[in-house]
Structure 1
Amino acid sequence: MTPDRSTSRRATARRFSLADDRRWVRVQRAVLGGGLAAALIAVLLQAGVAEAFARADPGVFADVVANGVGPWLAVLMAAAAGAALPVRARAPAVLRWDGAQWWWQRAGEPLAISPDVVVDLEQWMLLRLNAATDAEGVRGRTPPERWIALSRRAHEAQWASLRLHLFLAAG
């Protein structure tokens, strides 16, 4: 007798403990630091600060600013400073599949969510967690979405099961 293959496979209930990926936090800080530096430099250049420095001190600093290297150097230094800040370990969050619904819990009560795998590079994933909608399609009082970066290195013991559940539960 051949097995019945017409039924769809469903993921069983499972709980995943997810810690923040420190490298992802550093990348976010580097981008934020570089972006803030670029915005500040744009405001200063628009205000004419570079020309004032060039007139006041015709030395090496004025040449660096006048040639446009100074602003790029400042952006790179701000990005490096943002990436160099220490990353504090936070309590791991819990992503839970109960067989019918995904749940997210960091601090406080659990939030019903619907996870979307936005990027999957097999060694690294970017998830978007959307608050689950009710029957009429209206979101609750919770924030609409949260982004989570996960790496195989940080979640080695549960990586295969996590990926399997994310894709099987979506179907």
Structure 2
Amino acid sequence: MHAPPSVTYPVGRSAFAARAAAALVAAGLAAAVVFSFQSPAGWRPLAAYAAVAASAALGWRAWLRSPVGLLRWDGSGWCWDEGGTSVAGRPEIALDLQSRLLLRWRGEGGLRWLWLERASDVSHWDALRRAVYSRASTHVPAAGQPPAAEQ
């Protein structure tokens, strides 16, 4: 069994994630408008609008602070490079939309969410997907030798 080839892939702010967040804010605003027409005047409609505004602000802030760097697979391990620092870890697939991947990065620096888009580097997209989906290699005993007994 062969390991996937080494690959370096750029990770940046995702336009898809921004559009998805904007759609959720628009849906929340539509719900707040409908709620305000169906409820009596008072503090409740204002609270609904405030909740939508707070959600939009938090979403915008999260998008602006989303990780930007390089995801590297060297054939034996994963590395996340951000701002000149390199952190070993491993990606876990949270969502696969074929041309976009949402990865949960577990490394020494904690948990990060990474949006990867095919448009960032079309020529390396397939190699990245092969590397992300490959299984970690495990030691296989030589033929004729039983595995070591656990004690």
Pairwise TM-score range, normalised by the shorter structure: 0.5 to 0.7
Structure 1 residue aligned with 2:87, among 111, 119, 122? 111
Indicate whether 1:77 and 2:32 are aligned: no
Q: Residues 99 and 116 from structure 1, CA distance in 2 versus in 1: closer, same or farther, beyond 3 angstroms?
A: same
Task: Summarize the Cα distance change of 1:153–1:14 in structure 2 as closer, same or farther, 3 Å threshold.
Answer: closer
Kindly tell me: are residues 71 and 153 of structure 1, through their superposed partners in 2, closer, same or farther at Cα, counting changes over 3 Å?
Answer: farther
Number of aligned pairs?
121
- Structure 2: gaps spanning 5 or more residues: 29-39, 138-151
| 1:12 to partner: Cα distance | 1.6
State the Cα deviation string for residues 2-59 of structure 1 (Å, max 9, x = none). xxxxxx131122211222214425739x88xx9xxxxxxxxxxxxxxxxxxxxxxxxx
Letter in 2 for 1:98: D
Q: C-alpha displacement at 1:97, in angstroms? A: 1.0
Q: Mapping of 1:37-52 within 5 angstroms?
A: none
2:117 corresponds in structure 1 to 151
Identity across aligned pairs (percent)? 25
Residue 4 of structure 2: aligned partner: 11
Q: Is the 8 A contact 2:69 2:80 kept in 1?
A: yes
Question: How far apart, in 1, do the equivalents of 2:68 and 2:77 lie?
Answer: 20
When Rg is computed on C-alpha atoms for both structures, the one with the higher figure is 1
Instruction: After TM superposition, list the pairs within 5 Å mapping 1:21-170 onto structure 2.
Output: 21-24=14-17, 27=21, 63-66=40-43, 68-80=44-56, 92-131=68-107, 142-168=108-134, 170=136
RMSD: 3.4
* Contact preservation (8 Å) 1:119, 1:127: yes
Shift of 1:170: 4.4
Instruction: Report deviation, 1:160.
Output: 2.2
Report the alpha carbon displacement of residue 95 of structure 1 after superposing the two structures with TM.
1.0
In the alignment, the residues of structure 2 paired with residue 76 and residue 91 of structure 1 have an alpha-carbon distance, to the nearest angstrom, of: 25
Contact map agreement 1:17 1:93 (CA 8 A) in 2: yes
**Does the CA contact (< 8 Å) of 1:9 and 1:168 recur in 2?**
no
Where in structure 1 are there 5+ consecutive unaligned residues?
Answer: 1-7, 35-62, 132-141
1:20 aligns with 2:13: yes
Quick check: which one's strand share is greater? 2
Instruction: Give the 3-state SS of the residue equivalent to 2:128 in structure 1.
Output: helix
